[in-house]
Amino acid sequence: MRPAPRPGPPPNTQANLGTKHRKDFQHMSTSPEDTDTPPLRRIPVRETRRATGIAFFAWTIAVYDFILFGTLLPRISESFGWSTSHALFVSTLVSVGTAIVVLGVGPMVDRLGRRKGMIISVAGTAASSAATAATVGAASLIGVRSISGLGLAEQSVNATYLNELYELTEDEKIRRNRGFIYSLVQTGWPIGALLAAGFVAVVTVVFGEGSWRLAFLLATVPAVVVALLCLKLKESPQFLLQQRIRRLRKDGDETGAARVAGAYDLDHEVAAPLKRIFHGVHLRNTIVLSVAWLFNWFAIQTFSVLGTTVLESGKGIDASNTLLMVVVSNVVGALGYLAHGWAGDRFGRRNTIAVGWTLAGVFFAAMLLGPDTTLYVIVTYMMGLFFLLGPYAAIMFLQAECFTTDCRATGSSFIGAMSQPGAIIGGFILASLTAAAVPYSTAALYVGAVGALISAVVVLLVRKVSSADELEEAAATPGTVG
């Protein structure tokens, strides 16, 4: 049931600010129109910074576990006696299982809360690491590693939680530079990747190449520590308000729920979060961002995951010093995150993402079509990575701005899950082209560089959600209390 249209707000309220002034009122009014209703709790500076730090460590540990599996897959394969093709098949099934788990995280976070979502995500990382050490074959490995999807979804949970905290924070520096601050959290990816590579090197030297089970067991320790740190987090005021509205509905007080939602300029919807992201303005954002992620992961699969293969097979560059390449590429990725997070605050996140991915496609095309000299190839390759990976600091925060509180985590995690189909489809097309005798450099151009350019164009169609009034005009979503 929708509430009756309420009288227009005073001239200086959010509804009359217009889209050009909506930055500080992304999804809801923090000061209710009903003066008898208290404003949402402001987030103290210390609490904001503590949450930011914990989110950084949570994402770093999640990436650490994710990269650890890819790094140790050859050792796992050897211990089980698998062929290369069988190991790749297992890895593909793990990606499918991971995507399925990621899809379930968003609705869980929108139902249970951001704080519990972070605890469960990091605890899932710990469980995945510990259970991997006890696997006995392909089936158990696929099942156990699928649980790592809980950790991989951490970036969506982070973006949802921090977006809501930064909207209400008393820390004006963070409030003004929220995109850049979030990019610092996103640097957990390159840092986690470097930690995983270094950890594997140390464990291999000390305990031997067959010690992959011990490596996963030891990786459980930091994940458990971070999960305990997450217990110190407080729930976001926006989710608590949404929870209050749900309780009123559950008690049969639709009028009260409508009054509270109206007082805070919230959209009064009763549909389940997964249903909400496929209606009205949410539908547009869900489709646009999902397609953008899918095509962009063609490029990531080609130039990041299979980067060494592209350099060696596509350009004839000796990438034998793998460790150095890993270090340099991750440093470049971290700088890309920071640069695009900063640019997103000043020039708009959508435009920053589109420009970044366009330049990535251009640099990768220049690398593949240009001379084979080592300096030229490495410089263009690293510039391509800078502009390919960097926009992810901006897009994760943009996604949180494209959905309302009741389905924000669901929308963000659903879109993030498109990375796995993108990687699988992109890898399949790349393998098919090379099997058809297409030169590797040409195949990489068609799949990777073109994929980056397509994603840059598609992302321009995204549209931020500004208010309940806009949503009510765009969609009438029937549903049941869920």
pLDDT grade for 481, boundaries at 50, 70 and 90: very low
Which pLDDT tens digit goes with each residue over 209-251? 778 999 999 999 999 999 999 999 999 998 888 888 888 888 8
- What number is the average pLDDT over the span 131-150? 92
pLDDT over 60 (residue 307): yes
Q: What is the DSSP letter of 25?
A: -
Return d(Cα 379, Cα 450) in angstroms, integer: 20
pLDDT over 60 (residue 256): yes
> Do residues 411 and 105 make contact, with C-beta atoms less than 8 angstroms apart?
no
**Residue 43 β-bridge partners:** 169
How high is the pLDDT of residue 466?
Answer: 57
Distance of CA 102 to the CA centre of its chain: 10
Q: What angle do CA 153, 155, 158 make, to 5 degrees?
A: 115
Q: Where are the domains of the chain?
A: 45-230, 273-468
Longest alpha-carbon distance in the chain: 72
Return d(Cα 143, Cα 444) in angstroms, integer: 32
Nearest to 160 by CA among 65, 250, 59: 59
How high is the pLDDT of residue 44?
Answer: 95
Burial (CB < 10 A; 0-12, 13-18, 19+), residue 35, is: exposed
pTM, two decimals, is 0.79
Do the domains 45-230 and 273-468 sit in the same CATH topology, yes or no? yes
At the topology level, CATH places domain 273-468 in Growth Hormone; Chain: A; (1.20.1250)
> Above pLDDT 70, what percent of the chain?
85
Return d(Cα 193, Cα 394) in angstroms, integer: 20
Return d(Cα 132, Cα 88) in angstroms, integer: 17
Q: What is the DSSP letter of 442?
A: H
At the topology level, CATH places domain 45-230 in Growth Hormone; Chain: A; (1.20.1250)
Phi first, then psi: give them for residue 129, nearest 5 degrees: -65, -45
How high is the pLDDT of residue 117?
Answer: 93
Burial (CB < 10 A; 0-12, 13-18, 19+), residue 41, is: middle
Nearest to 289 by CA among 145, 395, 161: 395
pLDDT over 90 (residue 451): yes
Contacts 24+ apart (CB under 8 A), 280-284: 280/471, 280/474, 280/475, 280/476, 280/477, 281/463, 281/465, 281/470, 281/471, 281/474, 281/475, 282/402, 282/403, 282/404, 282/407, 282/411, 282/465, 282/475, 283/475, 284/461, 284/462, 284/463
Give 245's contacts (C-beta < 8 A, 6+ positions apart): 257, 260, 261, 266, 268
> Above pLDDT 90, what percent of the chain?
44
Which pLDDT tens digit goes with each residue over 145-172? 999 888 888 988 998 999 999 989 999 9
**Residue 169 β-bridge partners:** 43
Give me the chain's average pLDDT, please.
83
Nearest to 389 by CA among 353, 349, 426, 443: 353
Q: Is 28 left (phi over 0), alpha (psi -120 to 50) or beta?
A: beta
Return d(Cα 241, Cα 316) in angstroms, integer: 58
